[in-house]
A and B are shown apart, each in its own frame.
Chain A
C-alpha cells in the first residue's frame, strides 16, 4: 500500500449500474471510498468531453457503467458509450496517458456484488498506476480533496 488513495468518478446509468450500486450498498458490501458516482439517464449520455474533463479536474480513474449489452433501456445507449470509450482510449494513447484509467463496465441491476467487485478491481488498478500526473501538476496540494488526505 503506497498511501495513495485514488479519486475515481463513476458515471452510472440510472437503469442498471446505479441500481446495482444501490444493491451493493443494501447488501452491505464494501468497496473503496475512492469511487464517487454521478448518475446519468444512460451511459449514452456520456460525452468524451466529460471524461477528459474529469481527468483534467483531477480524477485518477473514470468508470463508465452501463447496462449489459443488448439490455439498454434506450436500445443502444451503452453501445454508443462503448464506442466513445474506445475513441477516448485512442486519444489517451496518442498523448501517452494510461488508457487503463478509463474503463467501461456493463452490469445489471441485480449485480450488486459484481459492482463492488469491479469497483474494487478498478481502484486497485488505478492504485497501481499511481496518481494522475496531469492533475497533480495542475493542482497545488492545498486544493486536494479532504477525502484523499492520508
Chain B
C-alpha cells in the first residue's frame, strides 16, 4: 500500500512538516533533521515545549523535567534544518505522499523574532497583567511575555486580542486602554507620553472631549464605563503640574515649506506632524490668540486658557512658526510666497442668524461672536458683552453644547435669568448629558419640544421675548426639511431682553474667491477628496470644521493628522491616496467571557469613581473651572476597573523601550504555503476540563485543584517556588487527597488516560519530599503502573513515602465553609462508609483531544474516532488513514512521554523512508572560512561588553567595565555594545576580531548555556578556532542578581570579566577530526522488532545484517494468533494490501526480508564478539557450523526480545490443565477442546516484582476470544489490578459486558490451587470476608515476559547494562527509551521491556530512526573538549578505566607509561563525553580535560583574587 500513488524521484520533496512542538514533535523534528530532511515544525503556541515544559519532575526517574527538556529545546532552536514556526497552524494539506502542499496560518506575534533577542525589557515595562496559563492561572504575567524562562524560540510575544473598543471608537485612535493601564500602574508620565503619541491636545480633550471611547467601553455592559476622559485629564493635570520640560526643536531636513491657515486644533496638529517630519511650517491666525475654538469658543470655566496655551506651546517649541493677527486674504499670496503646500484649517467661526421674525432686533447676539467677545475683550471695556447681559433676562436659541456654553456664560456675566429654548422633539437634546446636568444645577431654565415663531419686539426695536409653540415631534420631509407637528393652541412666550442665537456655525471662507480653484460646497464648507483632504487646486488641502462642518476637537485633531500625512505624500511625490493598512481586528469580549470572569470573581461590579465639581452656588458667579479632576488614588482606582479588552493595551511602553526595534504593533496574520513530502502529526492533548464534573466543585471550591496545577505548585520554578500552598489561604496542606480517573474510565470516556496513576504517585511522593508530615491518600480504581520501573516506583511511594491508596471512586466533594476544607465520603477497607476531611484535593485529570485538534484532523482529512483520537492502520500503527501523514503521541491514544517519544522517532523514520531518495536535497550546512593558525602568537584578547539593553546597563556601569577590561593583560580591544547577540552585532564582532587580529575573545554578556554556540560560530566566521572564546555571565550572575547595588554589581562584573580574560589567555585551539563511518547496521534478534528494524533501515538505503539465533525468523510473533485490532482497539484501520492477522504479518515480513537485497540474514547464528565504537564496530557472528563471520558496521540494534516466563507457581508444569496465556492462546487458535470453565490468575511469578505490562491485556483478549467461540464458557479472572491502559480499557469493558467475572486478590491472600480430579481455585473475597471456590477446566496463568538467557551474551559482547529485572537499560528512561548510553547502540522491542505487537513494531522503528541519524553521516567528529592522557606519567593503575562511565578509557598495551613500563592508559576520543571524571580521579595527574584543563580552571580562580595592577583608583568601590 505504501508505494501506491507515491511521487518518486524529482517530484518528491525532501522536507517534512511536523505539527506540534511538544516533546514528541521535537523528537520527530530532531530525528528528521539529523537524518537529512528539512523540517518545518509548526506550533500553535508562542514557544515549543508542550506539556512537558510545565512538569516538575518526571516519573520513574524523578528527573527535573526542565533539566531534561531544555537541552533539547536549544537543539531544536539552533538546528539549521529545523524551521520553527510558532503561533502557527496548519490550514489544509493537499497533494499526495512525497509531494504535499500545506497551507499555514501564522498569527501576529507583534514582536519580530528576527530582531528580538529575548532581553525581556518589553515584559518589564508592560503594564498589563494577564493570568499566566503556563502556571495554570496561579500567577500573573504581562501581555508582553515569554511562555516560560527557558522557552524556545528565545523571544517574546505580545498577547493581543485586537484593538480595544475604546481606541477603535476614537477618531484619532487614542490608546485609551494603553494609558489607563499605565495609570493603573501609577506610571503617569508614561501615560502622558502614550496620549501625546496620537493627540497634541490631551489636556483639552481631558476636559471637553465627547469621549466616544466611554460609549464603546465594555465595562459599560457590567456597571459603568471607565471614566476615560477624567483619567486623561488626571494624567495631563498631574504632568502639567510638574516643571515643564522644554522640547527640542526638530531640525528641518526638507526644503519645502508649508503654510497652515488657522491655528485651531486641526491646523496645529497638522503643523506639529509636518514639523516633526522636518518641514518648515508657518501657521497664519487671524485672531490675536492661537487655539481657534478651543480658545475663543469654549468658555474658561470649561477649558481654562492656560491649558490651551500650554499645549500649543509644546507644538511651537518644535519649531512651528505662528503668525497671529495675520488673516490670509488670498490663497495666491501664499503660493507666491513660495509655500509648497497650503492647508486650510480655518474652522467654523461664523454663527448663524436664524431667519425668524425679529432676528435683527437689538439685544440679539450670535453665539460665536458672543463667546469670542467674552474671551477676548476685557470685561471692563465698553464693548464687553457683560454690559448687554448684566441684570437682564436671557434666552438662548439652540440646544447643542455651544448653546449651553452661551447660557452658562451669560449666567456668569450676571444675567438675572437664563433660559434655553431648543427647537426639536421633546427630550432629545443635542447637547451632552454632562452639560444639561450642569446647566440645570446652575438654575438655567430648559425648554424643549418647541418651534420658534419669532422674537417679540418691545416696540422700541428691542427684544422682549421669544414666542414659541409646542411641538409633538418633527418629521423630515423628502427634501430633508423638518416638518413640525404642532400641538394646537400651544403658543407661549419666554420673556427675555437678550436672545442669543446658537443654532450652528459655519466656516468663514471670504478669502477664497471663486477663481481660486478651490471648490466650496452648498453647505459652505470646502470641497475636498474625503480620503486625502486635497482640494481641487493642487497643493492646497483643507481639513477640520471648515471641511466637515462643526465637529468635536478629537475629529479636528484626526483631520490634522490625516492632512499632514497626505501633504507628506504629496511632497514626496507618492500617491496621495492613502494605502489602506490591514486592519487589526477590534477586540470584543464575548458576553459569555464576561459572565465567566464575573463568576470567577475576576470582575466585581464597582461603580465609576465620581469626579468632584464645585458646588453650583459657588460657581455661577465666576469663570473658575467647574470640575476638579481625580486625585491620584481615585485615578488609580478608576483605572483598575479596566477590563483590558485588547489584552495588550497598545500603550507603546514596549515600543519605547525595545532597543532593537522588534515591536511591531501593526503586525497581521500571515498565510504561507509550503511543500513537504510527509507529515507527522503530534498535536498533543488537553487535560480534561474538570469544571465539567460539577460534583467535584472545581472552580467553586478554591482548594480543589487539578493535577496540572499541583504540578506547577511543586515546580521549583513555579508560582510558589515549589512549595505546595493551598489556594484559599496560602497554608501548607497537611492532608491531601488525589482523586483518580477524573475524565477517564467514566461514562463519557471509555478509555484509560494511562499516565494519571503514575503522575499522581509522583506528585504525592514529591509533595511528601517537600513536607514529610503531609498525609496523602490516593483514591483509585486500579493502580496502573504498567511500564518499566513503574511498579517499583509505586512500591516506594507506599513504603518509603507512606502514601495510602484507597480503592474506591469518590462521587462528590463537599466544602466546609469555615475553613474551606473538603469532605470526602468513601467506603473503607472494612466496607464502612467513612467521611474524611482533607485540606487540599487534587483531581487527576485525564487526557482529551481538544476541539482545535479535532478540527485540525478534520481539515487534514485523517480519520478520528468519537473522542477525536486519530485512527491508524493495523500493523502500521502510526499511519493515519491518509498515506504519508503519520500520527504520534496522545493524539493516537493516551500515553506517557517515553511512549510518545518512541512513536515520534518511529514516525520520523517512516517519513524519512518515504523520502529517502531526496535526503539532503533541502538541508544546508554551515560554512566557515579556513581557520587561522594562531601558532605561537602572543595572546591578543578582544573583550565585548554587552548592555543587553538595560538588562545589564541598567544595573551596572558597562562603560566602566569595558574601560577596566582594557587594562587587563593581553587585552588589545574593548568595546561595549547594545546587544552583543543581535544579528548585526555578531557580524560586527566577527569583523572586529578579523580586523584587530585578535586571537582570543571574551563576551561579557549573558549565559553560555544558551549563547556560547552563537559566539563560537561567530569566531569561526572570523576564521578563529571556536574554542577561543569565553563568556563572562554578567547578566544572569550579576546585573540581575545585584540589581539593588550599582557599585557592587559593577565591581563584580569587573571580577567576572577579569576571570574570563585570564581563562581565555590559557585557552588553546582544539582540533577535531572526522572519522569515516561504516554505513551498515547489525540487528541482533529476528522477531517482529528485529525484522521491522532491519526492513526500516534497508528502506532508508542502509545495508543490514540480521542475526537470529534460531533457524527461523519470527520470535514471539509465531505464538501470536489474535490481536487487538480485531476488537477495534488501537491501530485498527484496515489498510490496502496490509496483512490482516499476525500470521500474515509474519509471512509478509519474512518475504520482504528475503527479497530485500540490502538485508543479509544470518539464521541460526549468534553474536560472539564486538569491538570498536560508534561508526566503526567490528562484530563476529558464529553460524550453526561454528564458522565465524566478521561484520563491519556503524551501529547495533539489540532486538533480543523476551520469552514468556514458565515457573512452578500454582502447580504449573505438574498437569496439562494448568497453562500459560501463550499456551492458552495456541489452544484457542487450534480450536481443540475449548474449556467450559476457565480461571485466570494474574501477576504470576516475576510479575509480582515488576508489571508485565501486556499480561492483563493478553488475558482479557484470550478470555474474549474464548467467549467468541463459546459464549457459555465461565471465565473468572483473579487479579490484583487490571492494567488495561489507554484504549485497552475497552477490552476490560467488553469483558465485563461479556459476563467475565473479575475478583481481586492481594498479596496477603494469594489464590490457592487445589489439584484434585478437577482443578479448584480458592480465593479470599474481602468484601464478603470469606473464601470462594471456583472449579475450572483450565487454569491459565498470566506470567510475564522475561528476558531470554541469550541476552546476557549479547550484553557482554556490547558491554551494555541491564536493569534490575534483566531488561536492557536505556540511556534515559524518560527521554531516550531506545538508546543505550554507549553511542551507536540501540534497543528495539521487548529487549527494552514487554510490549504488545504494535508497540514492538513502533519501538523497532524508533530504534532504526535513532540509528539512521548516525548512518546518514559521512563521518563523525571526534576530539574537541575531550580528556587526554600524558602517558609519560601514567602508571596504568586502571583508575580511569574504572571511573569512566562511557568505557572510553582503556589500557593500551602498545603504549608505554611512566618509566617505560608496558601499557598505559588512553582515552578513545570518539567515546569521551568530556565530563572530566577521570581527570580528577587520576592519582598520577596524567589526564587533563581539554577546554577545562587544570591550568584554565585555576586561571579563572586565581584571577578572582588578583586584581589588575592598573586599576584606576577612582573606580574603586566606595
Contact = CB atoms under 8 A, between A and B. Distances in A.
Nearest to A49: B1494
Interface string A21-48: 1111111111101001111111011111
Contact of B1041 (A31, A71, A111): A31
Interface stretch (B882-890, B915-923, B1202-1210, B1471-1479): B1471-1479
Contacts of A18: 1007, 1009
B149 A68 contact: no
B1443 interface: yes
Given A45-B1489, A71-B63, A146-B1511, A110 B716 contact: yes
Contacts of A31: 1041
B1504 A109 contact: no
Interface string B37-76: 0000000000000000000100001111111001000000
Interface in B1468-1518: 1473-1477, 1479-1481, 1489, 1492, 1494, 1497-1498, 1500-1502, 1504-1507, 1511, 1515-1517
B715 interface: yes
A61 interface: no
Determine which residue in A25, A36, A74, A139 has the highest number of CB atoms from chain B within 10 A of its CB, and name it.
Answer: A25
Determine which residue in B56, B1009, B1511 has the highest number of CB atoms from chain A within 10 A of its CB, and name it.
Answer: B1009
A22 B1498 contact: no
Nearest to A38: B1500
Contacts of B1445: 74-76
A80 interface: yes
A15 B1008 CA distance: 12
Interface string A55-95: 00111000000011011011111001000100000000000
B1035 interface: yes
Nearest to A144: B1507
B1132 to A, nearest CB: 40
Interface stretch (B398-406, B1044-1052, B1067-1075): B1044-1052
Contacts of A14: 1009
A138 B598 CA distance: 69
A45 B1476 contact: yes
A37 B1475 CA distance: 18
A45 B1517 contact: no
B1474 A41 contact: yes
A84 B1008 CA distance: 27
A50 B1474 contact: no
Nearest to B1425: A41
A37 B1054 contact: no
A83 to B, nearest CB: 10
B1480 A145 contact: no
Contacts of B1462: none
Contact of A44 (B1008, B1042, B1475, B1501): B1475
A96 to B, nearest CB: 22
A36 B1052 contact: yes
Nearest to A74: B1475
Given A44-B1476, A110-B715, A21 B63 contact: no
Determine which residue in A14, A37, A39, A71 has the highest number of CB atoms from chain B within 10 A of its CB, and name it.
Answer: A39
Nearest to A57: B1505
Nearest to B715: A110
A30 B1501 contact: no
Nearest to A58: B1505
Interface string B1051-1092: 110111001000000000000000000000000000000000
Contacts of B1515: 146
A80 B1009 contact: no
A19 interface: yes
A38 B1516 contact: no
B101 interface: no
Contacts of A110: 56, 64-67, 715-717
A123 interface: no
Contacts of A102: none
A39 B1008 contact: yes
B1139 interface: no
A31 B1494 CA distance: 28
A44 B1480 contact: yes
B1363 to A, nearest CB: 14
Interface residues of B, number: 66
Contacts of B1200: none
Contact of A109 (B67, B1049, B1425, B1500): B67
A137 interface: no
B1043 interface: yes
B1041 A25 contact: yes
Q: Chain A contact residues (Cβ within 8 angstroms of B): what range?
A: 35 or more
Contact of B149 (A7, A27, A116): A27
Contacts of B1052: 33, 36, 147
B63 A53 contact: no
Contact of B64 (A24, A39, A47, A71): A71
A114 interface: yes
A2 interface: no
Contacts of B1009: 14, 18-19, 22
A104 interface: no
A147 B1054 contact: yes
Interface string A108-122: 111111101000000
A22 B1507 CA distance: 25
A99 interface: no
B1294 interface: no
B1497 to A, nearest CB: 6
Contacts of B1502: 57
B717 A41 contact: no
B805 interface: no
A30 B458 CA distance: 86
Contacts of A59: 1501, 1504-1505
A40 to B, nearest CB: 6
B64 A113 contact: no
A16 interface: yes
Interface string B1005-1035: 0011100000000000000000000000101
A16 B1517 CA distance: 33
Contacts of A16: 64, 67
A7 B1504 contact: yes
Determine which residue in A19, A24, A31, A77 has the highest number of CB atoms from chain B within 10 A of its CB, and name it.
Answer: A19
Given A22-B1009, A38-B1501, A40-B1492, A33 B1042 contact: yes
Contacts of A143: 1505-1507
B1037 interface: yes
B721 interface: yes
Contacts of B1121: none
B1498 A45 contact: no
B1036 interface: yes
Contacts of A149: 1516-1517
Nearest to B1445: A75
A72 to B, nearest CB: 9
B316 to A, nearest CB: 44
A32 B1277 CA distance: 64
Contacts of B56: 110
B70 to A, nearest CB: 7
Contacts of B65: 110
A25 B1036 contact: yes
Given A19-B70, A36-B1052, A50-B1497, A9 B1504 contact: yes
8 shortest interchain CB distances as A-B pairs: A45-B1476, A25-B1036, A108-B64, A74-B1475, A58-B1505, A25-B1040, A44-B1477, A147-B1051
Given A53-B1501, A71-B67, 6 more contacts: A16-B64, A24-B1036, A42-B1476, A45-B1479, A147-B1054, A147-B1055
28 contacts: A7-B1505, A23-B150, A25-B1041, A30-B1042, A33-B1041, A36-B1059, A38-B1497, A38-B1500, A41-B1475, A45-B1475, A46-B1480, A50-B1497, A58-B1505, A59-B1504, A67-B67, A70-B61, A84-B1480, A109-B66, A110-B64, A111-B64, A135-B1505, A139-B1505, A145-B1505, A146-B1055, A146-B1515, A147-B1048, A147-B1055, A149-B1516
